[in-house]
Chain A
């Protein structure tokens, strides 16, 4: 019954094209609520029963494709539904200025794609059949491509969109090859389930590597990430929020799904995932620090967080391989919980950053400042997201990082020399990532929202309309719920982790620890409250004045002139990390006889070393090589006849001398 309703809703998405612009958001929301209702119902059912939920979905080329929901799928269904819902609510406000610029079909096409992104992601996590999986995977890439190039009147956006589309197709090729090899070599079913037969009898690493590259391009592991920092800024903010919040997690889903079939030779795979993740985490956040475009900065943070998720998963796999159940359970548990956590705070950050963009029309943080006074709600929600993504208590990011840390520290004593060294690198890496995230988010929050405005763009800014704040409230609620009530998630998390290891009950031993964390967080907030009241009481009895910021006695100029900028804030880090961040400064030295310095400019540019060397450089070299070959393409029919003649002569000569 429910399956038919879902099919009807999917078909009904076409209705959007015949509706007037004003109603499209509401109708999409209605359809989306239908989808969410049905799939969440399935997900809850999958969570509460011990069996895998399975029923036929459609007929594809003569064989029936069924939907299969286990607890991993169910978990992802929740994540997808939540963020897609907030995205669509946010879109209502965000797209308002575009309603005048774009016609009904364009807007309808956008909402249609948005719904289809939601649907395709759901199908990705529900379908096991390889062919159908690749089809929905392809739909997901395609509709997200259309979503990215929403502002297709900008040439740059289309270019970025194409770059995205091409990279997604490279990824799909790897997936296809991996499935085909597994299928051909064993004759098993062309589906995920067929992989278990392959992995039982073959060395899993080569096929896993193919899957990892295919899924890793989607997830954005360094060095497969180069589409990500471009596509996120180019897309409208609700799309960036959903893409960064959940779509890149489909890559993680794929990796997890493949891993669930591998039971032998796991150590190498675990170390491989861990190393790539540590590199992604540290380099991702380092590159984030030097960005001036707030959405690009957030995109690099997605890479960092994919890294943290990967660290959890990698440690989990090592734990399985080395027979260290605590490491396995807490690694997988932390990594999987971080998927949910990241989808929450990253979408929150993208929505609030989008609100800033909508009101100021710039994403360059060097032109912003002082917005907390003009957009207080947006600012506070951005701060909430910033604190959560930095992994600070009492917010949700801390809980998942804490689980990973616990797993590592608990396993140190039992581990062999090799695992201990691996763990040393992991927790130092995680600590560095945490520190750098704090560095980055103190920078972006204070440059955008604090101090005074750095350009005219901040002058006539007002708070965004309420509909754009609603999603922030929803997400903020969940961030605090997981942060303060972390014991609530233990049971569901245990169910998901049980797919990978039979010792998942170790997680329930964490309940008492998590309770104490909640208690500590409660006391923390209580102390803050008490001292706040104390100060209010103290300050009532004394004079409280307002004056200008202390400027070393100098009051001649606008204080904003000597305010710190994002570049200056990042400067001391850039000096340390010049190899990775690759920042170039452009400025003119002072002349010797220049007594009174004239006004001059200073610019910094950073570039991504991996993108430069792995994508841009080879592409440019190929293009320049092909351009050289292009001298043959003269466009004159005589030349082409000459080529044909030369060809015939060469062939006959070769035949004559018996060289062919």
Chain B
């Protein structure tokens, strides 16, 4: 329950912080940290325009997408406490749940019959396919390390003992940060601030969404960021700490993650489009390194 509340709260400010950091670095006047919330409220007050080419799919997709992300929040543990829904193998459900949301958004983009949206749709499909193994290999490494297979237990039993396990956590956090960037279509895979449709991924998929639907899509993006932020914080927070410490560290990690995203976006240029697949596959390769390191720690590979 705490985890759900914390994620919802940090989600509200996440994108605001990113924008703020980016503005600060570019020495622009900063929008209010609440600007994304105002935008969404404005959208909720609006009607909608649907393309006459679209069908039922286009109407249901944003809802399925949002619901899948919202339900995914339920699975995220906080500190020593399990998420609202927790069972063995819940991270498999988590990954496939996010996938069904993506599936619907991709076909909704194709539903408009627009060439631009097709472009975004097929890039999204390819990138999320490529990033999938990285997530599984990473979780498997932790599962191998702790002999547990639910989100909650994975982190509850993830004790940092030796130097090598520091290496694991750092590499895992690195991979997770970039998985989050790919999943949220941010730099260096996609530039949300670009003005050219031909170079967009996520933004171009939602060109025809408006009003309520667009608001849902925005909120889902916030939630996704907060979900990955929580997963990162779970690597750091120890279940032995008292609750206030845990919450403080959690919020600290979320803010640090948001700042990091802002800094990365401000200083990075977007990859060339055809370099993206290669770049994403590197994440899986890194995850494999984490897996092999875990094999060393668990003394299955014996080094002399």
Name A's B-contacting residues (CB within 8 A).
369-370, 372-373, 376, 383, 387, 390-393, 398, 402, 405-406, 408-410, 412-414, 416-417, 420, 423-424, 427-428, 431-432, 434-436, 438-439, 441-443, 445-447, 450-452, 512-513, 516-517, 519-520, 523-524, 527-528, 531-532, 535, 538-539, 542-552, 559-560, 562-564, 568-573, 575-576
For residue A527, which residues in chain B have a CB less than 8 angstroms away from its CB?
67, 70-71
For residue A528, which residues in chain B have a CB less than 8 angstroms away from its CB?
60, 63-64, 67
A452 touches B89 (CB 8 A): no
Chain A CB within 8 A of B174 CB: no
For residue A410, which residues in chain B have a CB less than 8 angstroms away from its CB?
88, 149
A516 touches B85 (CB 8 A): yes
Chain A CB within 8 A of B271 CB: no
Whole-angstrom CA separation of A435 from B103 in the bound complex: 10
Q: How far is the CB of B15 from chain A (nearest CB, A)?
A: 21
B63 touches A519 (CB 8 A): no
Binds A, one of B6-14, B119-127, B261-269: B119-127
Q: How far is the CB of B294 from chain A (nearest CB, A)?
A: 9
Name B's A-contacting residues (CB within 8 A).
44-57, 60, 63-64, 66-68, 70-71, 74, 85-90, 92-93, 95-97, 99-100, 102-103, 106-107, 110-116, 118-119, 121-123, 125-126, 128-130, 132-133, 135-137, 139-140, 143-144, 146-147, 149, 197, 207-208, 211-213, 216, 274, 277, 284, 288, 291, 295, 298, 300-301
Q: When the two chains form the complex, which single residue of B63, B97, B284, B295 contacts A393, counting CB atoms closer than 8 Å?
A: B97
Whole-angstrom CA separation of A408 from B139 in the bound complex: 12
B140 touches A552 (CB 8 A): no
Residue of A nearest to B154 (CB): A409
Whole-angstrom CA separation of A532 from B107 in the bound complex: 18
B93, B113, B114 — most chain A CB neighbours (10 Å):
B113
For residue A445, which residues in chain B have a CB less than 8 angstroms away from its CB?
107
Q: How far is the CB of A459 from chain B (nearest CB, A)?
A: 16
For residue A570, which residues in chain B have a CB less than 8 angstroms away from its CB?
122
For residue B111, which residues in chain A have a CB less than 8 angstroms away from its CB?
446, 450-451
B122 touches A545 (CB 8 A): no
Q: How far is the CB of A450 from chain B (nearest CB, A)?
A: 4
Q: When the two chains form the complex, which single residue of A392, A569, A575 contacts B118, counting CB atoms closer than 8 Å?
A: A569
A to B CB contacts below 8 Å, 9 in the list: A391-B96, A393-B97, A406-B89, A413-B146, A446-B111, A451-B112, A516-B86, A539-B212, A546-B51
Known contacts A412-B140, A420-B295, A446-B111; is-contact A542 B67 (Cβ 8 Å): no
Secondary structure dominating the interface of B: helix
A450 touches B48 (CB 8 A): no
Whole-angstrom CA separation of A569 from B115 in the bound complex: 10
A545 touches B49 (CB 8 A): yes
**Given contact pairs A402-B93, A409-B89, A445-B107, a sample of 15 additional A-B residue pairs in the complex whose CB atoms are under 8 Å apart:** A424-B140, A431-B95, A434-B99, A435-B99, A439-B125, A442-B125, A450-B57, A539-B48, A542-B45, A547-B49, A564-B110, A564-B115, A568-B122, A569-B118, A572-B277
Whole-angstrom CA separation of A545 from B210 in the bound complex: 11
A544 touches B122 (CB 8 A): no
Secondary structure dominating the interface of A: helix
For residue B63, which residues in chain A have a CB less than 8 angstroms away from its CB?
528, 531-532, 535
Q: When the two chains form the complex, which single residue of A393, A523, A539, A544 contacts B100, counting CB atoms closer than 8 Å?
A: A393
For residue A432, which residues in chain B have a CB less than 8 angstroms away from its CB?
129, 132-133
A376, A410, A428 — most chain B CB neighbours (10 Å):
A428
A523 touches B74 (CB 8 A): yes
B52 touches A547 (CB 8 A): yes
A549 touches B53 (CB 8 A): yes
6 closest Cβ contacts across the A-B interface?
A564-B118, A435-B129, A446-B110, A542-B47, A451-B113, A413-B147
Q: How far is the CB of A286 from chain B (nearest CB, A)?
A: 11
B102 touches A438 (CB 8 A): yes
Residue of A nearest to B126 (CB): A572
Residue of B nearest to A393 (CB): B96
Residue of A nearest to B114 (CB): A549
A560 touches B143 (CB 8 A): no
For residue A551, which residues in chain B have a CB less than 8 angstroms away from its CB?
114
Known contacts A402-B93, A549-B114, A564-B118; is-contact A442 B143 (Cβ 8 Å): no
